[in-house]
Structure 1
């Protein structure tokens, strides 16, 4: 009966989602405040019912209720408890339920923290959010029911995919979904603004915190997914330009552009049309990523579903919401006011160039991801678009973008002096040149690694230069410096920290050109060079895990005659799934890592292995954490945490 409760809860949530859409939307058209205010309790109660359904499915996984198809296909009684919890979303049905849970959670957050928002804007935004929830709840109930039963339950389940039996599964998908679905709030605000005709700085003030929230979550989700692929797949890589990886990068690039555009709109009431378009685009790309993962058009370690019926349903959702939003945008865009003017050399001008470069990057990723799919659908020809294409096209865009970021920070709003801004960055330029020279002397070619290493150092120093100069300019004493530090807005801290974090990540990416890879057959007792270190196998043994068996090698990592660390790369076998998985052995030494993965054992006692030395690789993920922390600092700024009061003057309503 508990399982049926979850199913009934989803049906009730669908009814509430439809109510959340229809009643407030009608109230906004009729200017009926009572009807408009139905949106808030409907959004909150819808979330509670979806949470109940999700809790029931989690309970079924925890107790190994093999009367459910979802549990049979994705669980095992011997599976560790953490994977029983995270395994709930390690499959198509469960992950879609998590998607709807996050969607309803976002709607409930808007309902709870929108007291200062105009009734009509809130009603329209929550109506759109309710329609989104209804579409995905209908998709789950009609094509992806997680509560489907079997008449004769088996004694044991098929277990979770071994690749997913990792702590990364507990972190990566929830963060990614918070980012994907977080942009649905900004999408709903954009649709509400277009419907109601209210596009002003107050709108940007309401939308910007949700953009930051989604961007921070998506940044962390992508970083976690990258690190998970790095240590789990045993290939020694952190990004493979897999189409499903690109599906998360596309909304991140659009969301980054939106974040900067919304800042201009909030400060100067400029770029209104462009900001609305980016708000639609960011969530549209999130929906596109959902379609790619669940339609069966892709073959990937990330892809969940291959059922054409599900793909057609999601394609219908995609066309309805993206097409509808773009059609509404096309109808309304011409009537929107243009906003404030600014000089080309100004912070607004720098942010416009930033948006153009980010949009070009996003378009490149979209084309590189979708072109092979379109070509195969039209001609049957299969091609692969990978790192050579993306690196060739994106590197020329990334270089000016990185150079521009600190310059834009130094320019004032409305009108600026480029010479003065460059003068304030002279220390960053010098340190960047010295950094490039030092990296070139230490590691040598390739030239691109030296170039981007120097740019990364410049970006880190330039990112913090704004704060340093704010607090030290004509400071009379250390006390005045500390007083100024306390007065720097959190949003300014957030900008500087995020830009510095991007520099750290860029340095980690640049250093991939200095990595060392050694593919060999290792003999126990012998040591082999990998970068500045030597690795040797001390022993090879077997052991039994809760639901797997493994062969593991104990390897010593040495510098000269001194043993620095011991690592244990392994090859695991999961009998229920009849699958194997590599478990890498990794040790962090300084900012770099020694990485080892083993393959097949041979009768003579030797074993196949991949050995890597990856200098500065940890900066890729540490920089992402710093970027996210910067975003969190901006989100904590009091000016973004409080709503704009109703003093903002509404624009005349657009013709219905």
Structure 2
């Protein structure tokens, strides 16, 4: 009965999305305020019934209702309760229901927190959200129903959740990633609504910007969490592999980063409007492309869902409609997308334009590297591989000018800047970066790597340039304390975002150039020394878990005869799935990680171990969190709290007038 309630609620939610697509736009066309005002209650209804459907599926997993096919294929009576809940989004059908709950949630949040938007504009935005919902609800109901039954052949027990997903990181990683993916639909909806109205001004950019930043924050944290999960769970010690599914989340992040900067220019200077519209379309389209890659069956990855081609065909068609329809609308309205700001070659606008160009080029590189092997194979030209060396080399050359402009951009004024005014600050910041970029590896590392010097130079340049920019601003005021406050949350958010990027860049530079990896053979009682640390293999224990049994190695670490920590690393054998998974041992430090993974038994009582020394690896994820914190600080800026008088720029209130 619960499954039927869930399925029926999904049908009702689909009906609400259809009404949300039609009624508000009909009201705009007829200038009927009542029909336009229906957009909000229809949005709330869509969210409410999607929530009921999701709760019904969660209940089915928690009570092990194996009459539901999705539960039978992805859960088991031995599975711990917390992972039964995680199993809801451990399958294609359940994860897509979570996707739709988040989609409806973004729409409901938009309806709730933008009540002061002009009624006409709000009706258009919510109607576009309804259009997106229609495509996804039909996809679920026609190809991916999470409530399909196993009746009459109800299994006694389930197939169990993929052991890769039986991990705390997977409890929050997919929801955060989906929040980012789906969140870009709001920026897309604002762009399409503005194009429909034929008026793209500073107000539209200001309204769209906090929603875009919010989506970017979730995607940033989601990607960082996925990187951290791969680092400690998969047992190979890597944090990024340029896996096609990793690329699928990275592409909308790059486009979203460019979109945030473009929105800033559109809001403050009335420029880059075409950039902003196209980047909003691109960010959401790339999110849909990622969905297609993960769920179409064209990729083989630990992150991908194995699905049939029919689902991929539906998603590909929907992707074509979204991209084709939005670009057609842009072409029809392109004459109305006019930028008014004028600026010289040496100005902040040009710095931001340069960064956007580099971000778009980076996005195209990742897109090409991800899709070219697939296209090549589909054309019958054989298999080709585009892997880590290609991406590393290209991104190295893209990062150099990007980091230089990230540091220089805030120092440069809008419209025009005299080089003489900032020459001293720029040269001092760059000189300090060069000096410390070379000196730090020379002092603290066993060898000086050219790439390490370059990476540190770029990161320190961003740090010193940010300090120089703040100092220049404070020099123009008398009271330093009040000046720091008057810079505003948005400005400090930008500073934190740039510093976060610098911290991540330091982490990547150091771990890529100075990490040590060793495969060693140890028997109980034997030791191995690396980088001043001694790893002593004490014993191997047999452990029985709720749905697995494992061999747990006990490793005691010392340095200069002083105890550091005792680590545990496991080989788990999951009973139902009959899969083996590695649980790594980690000794975490601010400047380095000690990482050990248990391998196979070698036949004479000894075991293979993989030992890593990873300097600054935590800085990669710390930088991502600092960037996300900067985004959150930017959203708190009071100018994004829409005032009633500014809301009248693009329309009227409840009586309704077309824009």
TM range (shorter): over 0.9
Deviations 1:514-545 (A, max 9, x none): 00000121222222133342212111111011
Look up the match of 1:50: 50
Deviations 1:228-271 (A, max 9, x none): 00000001000000000000000000000000000000001101
Is the contact between residue 361 and residue 397 of structure 1 (CA under 8 Å) also seen in structure 2?
Answer: yes
* Number of aligned residues: 649
Is the contact between residue 205 and residue 643 of structure 1 (CA under 8 Å) also seen in structure 2?
Answer: no
Correspondence list, 1:325-364, <5 A: 325-364=326-365
- Structure with the larger RCO, 1 or 2 (CA within 8 Å, 6+ apart): 2
TM-score, length of structure 2 as denominator length: 0.96
Deviations 1:71-117 (A, max 9, x none): 11111112122211111101100110011011100111111112221
Correspondence list, 1:26-65, <5 A: 26-65=26-65
Look up the match of 1:492: 491
Look up the match of 2:500: 501
Q: 2:452 aligns with which of 449, 454, 457?
A: 449
Look up the match of 2:654: none
TM-score, length of structure 1 as denominator length: 0.96
SS of the counterpart of 2:524? coil
Look up the match of 1:22: 22
Correspondence list, 1:196-595, <5 A: 196-441=197-442, 442-443=444-445, 444-471=447-474, 473=475, 480-511=479-510, 512-595=512-595
Is the contact between residue 206 and residue 644 of structure 1 (CA under 8 Å) also seen in structure 2?
Answer: no
Change (3 A) 1:127 1:647: closer
Deviation at 1:46, TM superposition (A): 0.5
Deviations 1:289-346 (A, max 9, x none): 0000000110100111330111111111111111111111122113322221112211
Equivalent-residue separation in structure 1 for 2:299 and 2:527 (angstroms): 42
Change (3 A) 1:418 1:644: farther
Correspondence list, 1:130-169, <5 A: 130-151=130-151, 152-169=153-170
Deviations 1:404-453 (A, max 9, x none): 11210111112212343342244432332232123331222431122102
Equivalent-residue separation in structure 2 for 1:235 and 1:419 (angstroms): 51
- RMSD of the alignment, in Å? 1.7
Is the contact between residue 552 and residue 569 of structure 1 (CA under 8 Å) also seen in structure 2?
Answer: yes
Look up the match of 1:89: 89
Deviations 1:357-395 (A, max 9, x none): 111111111111111111111124111111111111111
Equivalent-residue separation in structure 2 for 1:392 and 1:641 (angstroms): 43
Equivalent-residue separation in structure 2 for 1:501 and 1:417 (angstroms): 28
Look up the match of 1:612: 612
Change (3 A) 1:267 1:475: closer
Which consecutive unaligned segments of at least 5 residues does structure 2 have?
652-657
Is the contact between residue 92 and residue 307 of structure 2 (CA under 8 Å) also seen in structure 1?
Answer: no
Is the contact between residue 116 and residue 647 of structure 2 (CA under 8 Å) also seen in structure 1?
Answer: no
Q: Which of structure 1's runs of 4+ aligned residues deviate more than 6 A?
A: none
Is the contact between residue 57 and residue 147 of structure 1 (CA under 8 Å) also seen in structure 2?
Answer: yes
Is the contact between residue 464 and residue 497 of structure 1 (CA under 8 Å) also seen in structure 2?
Answer: no
Which consecutive unaligned segments of at least 5 residues does structure 1 have?
none
Equivalent-residue separation in structure 2 for 1:621 and 1:345 (angstroms): 34
Look up the match of 1:2: 2
Equivalent-residue separation in structure 2 for 1:531 and 1:619 (angstroms): 20
Deviation at 1:461, TM superposition (A): 3.1
Is the contact between residue 520 and residue 610 of structure 1 (CA under 8 Å) also seen in structure 2?
Answer: yes
Q: More deviation in 529-538 or 165-174?
A: 529-538
